[in-house]
Amino acid sequence: MDGIGLGTRGMAAALCLSTLAGCAAFSPDGGLAKVDAMTQARAGLTVQRIQTEQDAARVGDEVDRLLAQTLDADAAVKVALLNNRGLQARLAELGIAEADLVQAGRLRNPGFTFGRFTQGDEREYERSFLFDVMGLLTLPKRTEIEQRLFVQTQLRIANEVLRTAADTRKAYISAVAAQQTVDYLQQAKEAAAAGAELAGRMAKGGNFSQLRYQREQVFYAEVAAQLARAQQTASSERERLIRMLGLTGKQLAFQLSGRLPDLPGQPLALAKLEQQAVDRRLDVQMAGQELDALAKNLGLSRATRFVNVLEASYLNANSNEKPYRRGYEIELRLPVFDWGAARVAKAEAIYTQAMHRVAEQAVNAQSEVRDAYTAYRTAYDLAQHYRDEIVPLRKKISEENLLRYNGMLISIFDLLADAREQVSSVNAYIQALKDFWLADASLQLSLNGSGGGGIQMSSGGDMPMASAGGGH
C-alpha cells in the first residue's frame, strides 16, 4: 500500500499552497464602513444594511420613531437611508464584490486522480496530483485587480447613497410645496365662492348684470378646477415620497411639515466649487479607479500573453509486474496560432478609452457644478425677490384696500379680488421657494456625486391673476 499514497514532499507542498490560498477572508463589515465614511464626510449621512431579522426589527423601530413626529427633510432622508429597499438591494452589491475579491485570492482546488488497469495477470495503478501553477503565479495580480473593483463598487454604492438622499430631499420638498399650494388655492376658492354667491344674490335683486355675475361664476369654476389639479399633484408627490421612504400600512399616516424651510441668510459662493467637485465627486473617483484597474489588467494581459494554461501534475504509477514509476507532468499550450497580440491590443485600446473618459468626467463635473450653481443662485434671487418685494407689496395693497372698503370707497368685489391676487402672489413665492430648495439639493449632489445639475424653474402660480370682479 505504500505505492498508493502520494509522495511526502508532494503532499507537504500541496498543504502549504492550500494554506496560502486560504488566507483571503471576508471583512467583518463587508466593506460598508468605507461607504459610510465617504457619505459621512460629504453629506453627514449614515447608512445601515438589513441582512437579518434583527436588523429589520431594529430599522423598523427607528423608522417608526422618526415617523411618530412631524417629518422634516432631514428625518425623511434618514428614513429613506434606513428603509429604501432599492438602496438596500444596491448595498448587497458590496457582498457580491467582496465575494469576488475573496475568490480571486484563493487558488483552484487541487485535483487527484486514481486509475487501476489490468492486462492479463498484470495490474497497474496510476495516481496523479494536479495543481494550478499559473493560478498561483497570477494570484497577486488577480487579487489586486479584484481589490480595485471592490473599491470601485464601494465608490458606486456611496454615490447611490448620496443620490438616494438627494432624491428623497427633492421628493419631500415637492410634497410639502404641493400641499402648501393646495392650502392657498383652498383660500382662493373660498374667496371666489363668496364672490360668486354674493354676485348671484345681487343678480337676483337686479343690482348686478348677468355679464358680471357670469364672470364671478367662471372665476370660481376655474379656481375649483385648479384646486382639483393641485390636490391630485399633492397626492402624487406624497406617493413619490412614500416610495422613496419605503413605507407601507400604518406608516402611511405620517405628517409632513406645513411649510417649506425659509431661505438661508446668504447663498453659497461659487468660488472653488468647481475644484471641490473634481476633488470630491465619487463618479470622478470611480473613473480614476477604473483607469487604475484597467492599467493593472493590461499588465496581467501582457504577463499571460504567451502562456494561456499551465498546470503541473505529480504522477505515481506502479504495476505488479513492472518496476515502480514516479514523475511529474506539465501541460503547456503552445502559442502556435494565437500569440496573444489581439488580447494585448484590445486591453490597450480599452485603457486609452478609459483615460479619455476620465478626462471627460472631470470636464462634465465642472460643467454640472456651474449649471447647478446658476440654477441655485437664480432660484435664490427669485425667491428672495418674492419674499422681500412682491409679497410685502401685495400685503400693503391689501391693507390699503381694506381701509378703502371700510371707508366705502370700493366694493366687496374689489376686496375679494385683491384677496385672490394676494393668495396668487403667495403661491408664486411657494413655487420659487420650492425651486430654490430643489436647486440646493441638486447643487449638493453635483458637488459630491453624479446626477446633479440645473433644474427647470417653475412658472409660478397658475392662478388667474386678473380679477373677475375688478372695476366695481
d(CA 295, CA 254): 51
d(CA 348, CA 350): 5
d(CA 298, CA 285): 20
The confidence score (pLDDT) of residue 292 equals 76
Burial of 357 (0-12, 13-18, 19+ CB in 10 A): middle
What φ, ψ does residue 122 adopt, rounded to 5°? -85, 135
Amino acid at position 292, single letter: D
* All three cell numbers of 197: 354667491
Tell me the pLDDT tens digit for each residue of 88-116. 999 999 988 888 888 887 877 787 787 77
Q: Which residue has the higher pLDDT, 190 or 234?
A: 234
| Domains, the chain, ordered by start | 8-448 (1.20.1600.10)
pLDDT at 376 over 90: yes
Q: Of the given ranges (110-114, 126-130, 345-349), which has the lowest mean pLDDT? A: 126-130
The confidence score (pLDDT) of residue 11 equals 46
Tell me the pLDDT tens digit for each residue of 172-208. 999 999 999 999 889 888 888 888 888 888 888 887 7
The confidence score (pLDDT) of residue 464 equals 47
pTM score, whole prediction: 0.77
- Give the model's confidence band at 372: pLDDT under 50 very low, under 70 low, under 90 confident, else very high: very high
* All three cell numbers of 82: 434606513
Tell me the pLDDT tens digit for each residue of 299-329. 655 555 444 444 555 555 555 555 655 665 5
Q: Give the count of alpha carbons within 13 A of 194, CB side only.
A: 13
The confidence score (pLDDT) of residue 347 equals 78
What φ, ψ does residue 115 adopt, rounded to 5°? -130, 145
Q: What separation, in Å, do the N-terminal and C-terminal C-alpha atoms of the chain show?
A: 119
Q: Which residues contact 465 (CB under 8 A, 6 or more apart)?
A: 421, 424
What φ, ψ does residue 351 adopt, rounded to 5°? -65, -45
Geometric angle at alpha carbon 59, from 53 and 63, rounded to 5°: 145
Q: Residue length, the chain?
A: 472
What is the chain's Cα-based Rg?
36
Average pLDDT, the chain: 80
d(CA 223, CA 241): 27
Q: Report the DSSP pairing between strands 310-319 and 122-131.
A: antiparallel
The confidence score (pLDDT) of residue 15 equals 47
CB 417 within 8 A of CB 470: yes
DSSP 77-120: HHHHHHH-HHHHHHHHHHHHHHHHHHHHTSPPPPEEEEEEEEET
Distance of CA 374 to the CA centre of its chain: 23
- Residue whose C-alpha is closest to residue 455's, from 422, 432, 471: 432
The confidence score (pLDDT) of residue 434 equals 95
Burial of 262 (0-12, 13-18, 19+ CB in 10 A): exposed
* All three cell numbers of 220: 370660481
Q: Residues 17-21: what's their mean pLDDT?
A: 49
Burial of 420 (0-12, 13-18, 19+ CB in 10 A): buried
* All three cell numbers of 351: 485603457
Tell me the pLDDT tens digit for each residue of 434-472. 999 999 999 999 988 876 665 666 655 544 444 444 444
Q: Give the count of alpha carbons within 13 A of 298, CB side only.
A: 16
pLDDT at 135 over 90: no
Tell me the pLDDT tens digit for each residue of 85-95. 999 999 999 98
The confidence score (pLDDT) of residue 8 equals 47
Instruction: Give residue for cell 473617483.
Output: 285
